[in-house]
Amino acid sequence: MATSASPALDLVVASRTLAEHGVIDAYGHASIRSEKNPERFLMPKNVAPELVTEGDILEFGLDSEAIDARGEALYNERFIHGEIYKARPDVMAIVHNHSHAVVPFSCTGCELRPIFHMSAFIGLGVPTWDIRDAREGTDMLVRSAELGAHLAKTLDRFPAVLMRGHGSTVVAENLPRAVGRAIYLDLNARMQYQAMMLAGPGGDVNYMDAAEVAANVSWQNYERAWRLWQQKAMARLAAEKS
């Protein structure tokens, strides 16, 4: 794994990288499970990801409440994180996002499939969650532990879950993997859309097969990309301070 100065700084890098790639705009958030205490996770206070600095990172319990909120507002959808960390001991990092190319797949019954080798994890399965199956007439936000638990149940053992008319939530065993998966989920959606259009109705698209997916997912942590993202985010932080 790529080196890291601290989990909080890693979250700053992740937040700014996701914003730079257009995977999140003012909305969406990344979190990381505490290495010291698996019943805790780190996430920014309620602030746009491209503005996040180390001082904005708070510690949360698995009830998705801040251990010490310092009077700061919290993300409404923090329950996505707590409930997934509860249900999935293997998950160490989570990215919730609204990346644009993914939403049309969440609304059409078209299944995302792995068309691009950097997006192999999609071959592990990406279910779609419709908040209406949990509750009718919501504002579409995962504003409670109950809704978060329902989402986590649809996520099940998979690496990502689409959220109908909303976006997706992506999970992984480490933060660079979660960030890379969120970025390449969006790119896969763009490429798959174009391939489906080229192939036409009933046409064949040649996706990765299960053995290829397995061979790729076993090691893919987007390490070279993470080192690039670190360097660029740190340069931006330094420029802001000067």
What Å distances lie between residue 49 and 13, 44, 95, 99, 138, CA to CA?
A: 10, 8, 11, 14, 25
The nearest distance, CB 39 to its own copies, in angstroms, is: 28
Counting beta carbons within 10 angstroms of the beta carbon of residue 130, is it exposed (0 to 12), middle (13 to 18) or buried (19 or more)?
A: middle
User: Using an 8 Å Cβ cutoff, are 161 and 130 in contact?
Assistant: no
The nearest distance, CB 53 to its own copies, in angstroms, is: 12
Beta-sheet pairing, 40-44 with 29-33: antiparallel
Please say which residue, 81 or 98, places its beta carbon nearer to its own copies: 98
Beta strands in the chain (DSSP E): 29-33, 40-44, 57-61, 93-97, 128-129, 160-163, 167-172
Please say which residue, 157 or 219, places its beta carbon nearer to its own copies: 219
User: Using an 8 Å Cβ cutoff, are 220 and 180 in contact?
Assistant: yes
Please say which residue, 62 or 172, places its beta carbon nearer to its own copies: 172
The residues that are catalytic are 77
Please say which residue, 35 or 146, places its beta carbon nearer to its own copies: 146
The nearest distance, CB 99 to its own copies, in angstroms, is: 11
